[in-house]
Amino acid sequence: MSSTVLPRISIVTPSYNQGAYLDETIRSVLDQGYPNLEYLVLDGGSTDNSVDIIRRHEDRIDYWVSEPDGGQYDAISRGLQRSTGEIMAWINSDDKYMPWAFSTIADIFVRFPEIEWLTSAHPTHWNVKGQVIRCGYREGYSREAFRRGANLPGCGWYAPAWIQQESTFWRRSLWERAGGYVDSSFRFAGDFDLWARFFEHAELCVVSSALGGFRKHSLQKTAIHQEKYLTEAKRILRRYHGNIYGPWESKLRYYANRIIGTRNVASLPVQFRYLLSRLRILYSVKRCVWFDDSWKVVTHYII
């Protein structure tokens, strides 16, 4: 694809005292070789070596600042509001992208104008050394399942997967329809609130490629404050038409997944799939898969 038709991708990195990982994060953005990139780094006034690291790359960074801010989501929101790209995302200063991420998502967004936001079917984890230690699998994500708590593990009901923020990209048009901000009143679950607002306007599509990863280390905010994240996220679900599964529904979905297996759902008789859908056990989802010599959008199912 010619660089003259590649959409502009805007990436924001919020940072505060993450000098141990920041260089890797920045290089995972800049070393993609993507010719129409806008990169913004908003540092919250770090006291470690973060500013030195940013300055090392400043000739390839479109905008950066190091000053006190209102927290992570305040920095992200201000950065995204300042950005100009047609495709948008953020990557935190201890996480990383895969080297092919931008070319993949640009190709898909150009080919399929109906896709408004996109994430990976293979959520990935890095360790402190930057090595991949886990590459998961998810058939897809559904608006209705999201509203019932299917993407909020750890709350006592059947919830198979998070939506991995590090692998999620969206169109500016969707961002604007969803209000054009990340809600900084949430200290922990601002990403979950943004997903809830996106689902008000569009279904989420997955691509069968790893795009980015979440670094696991002892000082990460989500590890230290997981219960606070879940408390905020449950409040967000209630705000956006949430109807969390009851205990019996949750058990039914759990055992249905154990017996059938999500990967086997497509082989079930159409009538059985229809019944499971009516019982709110089965949901159809959209996947972008590589078939022969190009990307194709196909329908799959999740339990």
189-211 pLDDT, tens digit per residue, is: 999 999 999 999 999 999 999 99
Options 2.60.120, 2.30.30, 1.10.3470, 3.90.550; which CATH number does 96-302 get? 3.90.550
* CATH 3.90.550.10 residue ranges for the chain: 7-94
Q: Which CATH superfamily is domain 7-94 in?
A: Spore Coat Polysaccharide Biosynthesis Protein SpsA; Chain A (3.90.550.10)
pTM for the whole thing? 0.94
pLDDT tens digits, one per residue of 262-291: 777 777 888 888 888 887 888 999 999 999
Cβ–Cβ under 8 Å, residues 199 and 239: no
For residue 262, what are its two tokens?
């999500």
Residue with the larger pLDDT of the pair 303 and 286: 286
Q: Average pLDDT, stretch 161-187?
A: 97
Least confident range from 4-13, 19-28, 265-274: namely: 265-274
pLDDT at residue 222 is higher than 70: no
Contact 53, 72 (CB under 8 A): no
Average pLDDT, the chain: 93
Average pLDDT for residues 47-55, to the nearest whole number?
97
Query: Of 31-35, 212-216, 246-250, which range is least confident?
Result: 246-250
Percent over 70 (pLDDT), the chain: 96
Q: Tell me the average pLDDT across 56-79.
A: 97
Copy the structure tokens of residue 49.
């070596």
**Using one digit for the tens of pLDDT, what is the confidence trace for 226-267?**
899 999 999 999 999 888 888 888 888 888 888 887 777 777
